[in-house]
Amino acid sequence: MQQAEIRVRGRVQGVGFRPTVWRLAQECGLSGDVRNDAEGVLIRVTGEHAAIVDLVDRLKRTPPALARIDLVEIMPGTVSCDAGFRIVDSTKGSARTEITPDSAICGECAREVLDPAQRRYRYPFANCTHCGPRFSIIRAIPYDRAATTMAPFRLCPACAGEYRNPADRRFHAEAIACEACGPQARLVPHIPSNDVPDTAACLLRDGHIVAVKGLGGYQLACDATNSTAVARLRTAKRRNSKPFALMARDLDVIRRYGDVSTEEAALLQGPCAPIVLLRAHGSLLPEVIAPGLRTFGFMLPTTPLHLLLLQHIDMPVVMTSGNLTDAPQIIGDDEALTLLGRVADFVLTHDREIATRVDDSVVRVVAGKARMWRRARGYAPSSIQLPPEFAAAPALLAAGAQLKATFCLLRDGVAIMSPHIGDLEDARTFDDYRRGITHLSGLYDHAPTAIAIDAHPEYLSAKYARECGLPLIEVQHHHAHIAACLAENGRPLTAAPVLGIVLDGLGWGDDGTIWGGEFLLADYRSARRMAAFQPVAMPGGTAAVREPWRNLYAHLKAAGLQPDASHPVLDAMIDNQVNTPMASSCGRLFDAVAAALGICAERQSHEGEAAARLEALADAHTLSDEDDALAYPLSISTPSAGSIAWLGYQEMWQALTADISRGTSFGVIAARFHKAMAIAIVAMARALAGVEHFDTVALSGGCFQNAILLEQTERRLRDARFAVLAHSIVPCNDGGLSLGQAAVAAARLMAAA
């Protein structure tokens, strides 16, 4: 007989891990106990050596559905355990375990809620160790009921029996509840009803807007097939054209409106249950849902409340964030009744408090692989294991970007990214950002030794970091993008540099100018600019980001072409370099081409709108079948050691405007432009490979949210015999920037040690 202590780290709390250990230990004939503590799960066993090995092997092979084991350590035990196996109380300490993200309702709970024979029939807050709220309700680690917003709800005898029974799937499910002892739903204004979700469903079918309290915040819902209701919601929410997310009761409803692949179905039905961007078919939904686009963002019910709300609704409903314009999603009940009451006719709320705001995640499948566009509910704050060399890195905070902000905690070689927060230009979002850092750092007992920031002098995230009194490590914007891609793909710290191709809107360059179409030779520690898109003036500065016609005017002038109408003020600004920064921005190039085709020419209401509509316009036949020779040519200056190569647009604009003049279909023009970009990017990579040795290319930046550009570029690079790294688990846009900042800062600090 032997004694052993087994330490398990990872996502192992609040997922039914201890009951699984209890069951397996008994099957293996072992005595001992298992407990949660600040580092994860600790198992103490007495038994035969072969049985202990068998227990560990079975835990690794068959962990609970929501668990993720990062590390198992087996150490000699010092205490001989009594006969039998027990689950014992948690112990506290410095937090080293992972917080489990919120999870969508599981199949077993869904069946219970819809089964009249079950005691939780039509109860809107049923959950178990396989599903339900986690991060959104937690206040402290270890994850116990007393440390969550479920603490005020005292368990009834029936729920207490389940909670204490290791053989029950609700054993220590901290959010466990039922109609007799748990949270209650209500409608405001009050409508007498024996079934609140069903009454709310009737209101939706009648054309009303209903605010719904979801897992991580309030949402706004209406009948997606009712164009009047959707338009009214758009006006009241002050959301001019940004697409609305949709929710449907099941896949059969979704398939009426969009194509669903096997990969997309798995995402929709999985425990993370993100919004999945699907290719639309037909014209069954009104244009006002997603103006100018060919995709819809769909999700399935994430909670029992959503499931009951949609059970008898045979069409999609809009299910968008409960906020106004760019403000944070509302989580407080009083604020919801006050502010959302001006938008919604009714509020479907409940009395379980939301401790932490968590928005819905957004995923798109491109080239058969899921790509994260927004990382939040279901995914965050799951940790990201960095390559092994990062285990020696000191504790760090990475402050992230200005737009699509996230922050990142790094410790023990593990990165913990916050959920998507939003654009820090909004004062309420900036307040939420600061609260989030305090909350997550407190949960993990995280004390950073330094803070990584973007080099842009005006980023609010960097200004916040400067007030913290810790050493700062500036990381160039596009270098951070590449490092994020390297980190999520597990690229070793000692690996050779890659060619990082970063295409985005704006980022502060090493030379103090605006970059956005960059080819950098980079590893974690350093990055050197080898090539870039030819810089073009941005007349009006930030005004050019909002108004694509300004970029079109500047691009045509730079190409030696005459714009349709002269603009003396812009001419003077460009000629005299007044409020007209030069920018190598790929995002502004997409804006200019969109404006040339009449897309959002005067103004785009949200970042990336013009580019997204340009992508949607592209003709599929031209992309797949037309000869590459008809794609618009972009010029490449000859690369040489010590100088920057430029990718120029003059010939492209000449060919594109000639196509417009001869009446070529705008869909064909859009497709030829997309192909031209991919062809030119690969040509530049091949040219640079003749100057510096590299065999791997890393793609990053918000422009690669464009599925056509990403698919075409990846495929053509692989055809050119390059290994290609791209994003999947973190966003390619600025939402992934904090991970890259953390990796760069850690690499530099370790090198300097």
pLDDT digit string, tens, across residues 329-338 = 999 999 999 9
Q: Which of 98-102, 527-531, 548-552, 726-730 bottoms out in mean pLDDT, i.e. has the lowest?
A: 98-102
Confidence category of residue 95, pLDDT binned at 50, 70, 90? low
Q: Which whole number is the average pLDDT over 66-84?
A: 86
Position 91 pLDDT exceeds 90: no
Triad 456, 460, 461: Cα angle to 5°:
85
Q: Which whole number is the average pLDDT over 61-87?
A: 88
* Residues facing residue 9 across a β-bridge: 71
Confidence category of residue 37, pLDDT binned at 50, 70, 90? confident
Predicted pLDDT at 93: 58
**CATH 3.40.190.10 at 185-363, yes or no:** no
Interacting residues of 306 by C-beta distance below 8 A, sequence separation 6+: 212, 214, 247, 319
Q: Which whole number is the average pLDDT over 4-25?
A: 90
DSSP code at position 192: -
Nearest C-alpha neighbor of 747 from the set 413, 447, 516, 251: 413
User: Rounded to whole angstroms, what are the CA distances from 336 to 102, 219, 323, 339?
Assistant: 21, 10, 9, 5
* Residues facing residue 472 across a β-bridge: 451
Helices 707-719 and 609-617 sit at what angle, rounded to 10 degrees?
Answer: 70
For the segment(s) 376-484+737-752, the CATH number from 3.40.190.10, 3.30.420.360, 3.40.50.620, 3.90.180.10 is: 3.30.420.360
Measured between alpha carbons, how far is 416 from 101 in angstroms, rounded to an integer?
A: 12
Q: Over the stretch 371-427, which tens digit does the pLDDT of each residue have?
A: 999 999 999 999 999 999 999 999 999 999 999 999 999 999 999 999 999 999 999
Residues of the chain with CATH 3.30.70.100: 2-87
Q: Over the stretch 45-59, which tens digit does the pLDDT of each residue have?
A: 999 999 999 999 999
Q: Which whole number is the average pLDDT over 596-604?
A: 96
Position 138 pLDDT exceeds 70: yes
Q: Which of 131-145, 240-254, 445-459, 547-561 bottoms out in mean pLDDT, i.e. has the lowest?
A: 131-145
Confidence category of residue 96, pLDDT binned at 50, 70, 90? low
Per the listing, tokens 């023990």 go with: 412
Triad 283, 285, 289: Cα angle to 5°:
120
Nearest C-alpha neighbor of 545 from the set 507, 579, 506: 506
Q: Which of 156-160, 277-281, 562-566 bottoms out in mean pLDDT, i.e. has the lowest?
A: 562-566
Contact 647, 634 (CB under 8 A): yes
Reading the block at residue 269, the tokens are 């039905």
Interacting residues of 487 by C-beta distance below 8 A, sequence separation 6+: 384, 386, 387, 415, 524, 739, 740, 742, 743
Q: Which whole number is the average pLDDT over 352-357?
A: 96
- The amino acid occupying position 212 is V
Position 708 pLDDT exceeds 90: yes
Residues of the chain with CATH 3.30.420.360: 376-484+737-752
Residues of the chain with CATH 3.90.870.10: 185-363
Helices 666-689 and 609-617 sit at what angle, rounded to 10 degrees?
Answer: 110
User: Rounded to whole angstroms, what are the CA distances from 504 to 217, 288, 303, 700, 704?
Assistant: 30, 27, 36, 8, 8
* Strand intervals (E) in 281-361: 295-299, 317-321, 346-350
Average pLDDT, the chain: 95
User: Rounded to whole angstroms, what are the CA distances from 419 to 135, 185, 356, 541?
Assistant: 10, 26, 10, 30
- The amino acid occupying position 102 is D
Q: Residues, the chain, total?
A: 753
DSSP string, 240-265: -SPPPEEE-SSHHHHHTTB---HHHH
Predicted pLDDT at 640: 83
* Residues facing residue 529 across a β-bridge: 520
Helices 17-27 and 49-61 sit at what angle, rounded to 10 degrees?
Answer: 140
**In 3-state terms, what secondary structure has residue 26?**
helix
Position 94 pLDDT exceeds 60: no
- The amino acid occupying position 681 is I
Predicted pLDDT at 5: 93
User: Rounded to whole angstroms, what are the CA distances from 717 to 499, 665, 679, 680, 695?
Assistant: 12, 28, 9, 11, 10
Percent of the chain exceeding pLDDT 90 equals: 87
Percent of the chain exceeding pLDDT 70 equals: 99
Per the listing, tokens 């809620």 go with: 113
Contact 215, 329 (CB under 8 A): no
Position 617 pLDDT exceeds 90: yes
Position 90 pLDDT exceeds 80: no
635-636 and 645-648 as β-strands: parallel, antiparallel, unpaired?
A: antiparallel
Contact 415, 487 (CB under 8 A): yes
In CATH terms, the fold of domain 2-87 is Alpha-Beta Plaits (3.30.70)
Confidence category of residue 625, pLDDT binned at 50, 70, 90? very high
Triad 435, 441, 447: Cα angle to 5°:
130
Position 15 pLDDT exceeds 90: no
Confidence category of residue 583, pLDDT binned at 50, 70, 90? very high
- The amino acid occupying position 472 is L
Residue 185 phi, psi dihedral angles, 5° rounding: -90, 150
Report the 10 Å Cβ neighbour count for 510. Answer: 15
Per mean pLDDT, which of 72-81, 231-240, 612-621 is the most reliable? 612-621
Measured between alpha carbons, how far is 123 from 21 in angstroms, rounded to an integer?
A: 30
Q: Which whole number is the average pLDDT over 510-535?
A: 97
Reading the block at residue 725, the tokens are 């790294």
Q: Which whole number is the average pLDDT over 686-708?
A: 97
Burial 397-412 (b: 16+ CB within 10 A, else e): bbbbbbbbbbbbbbbe
Per the listing, tokens 């592209």 go with: 618
Q: Which whole number is the average pLDDT over 494-500?
A: 97
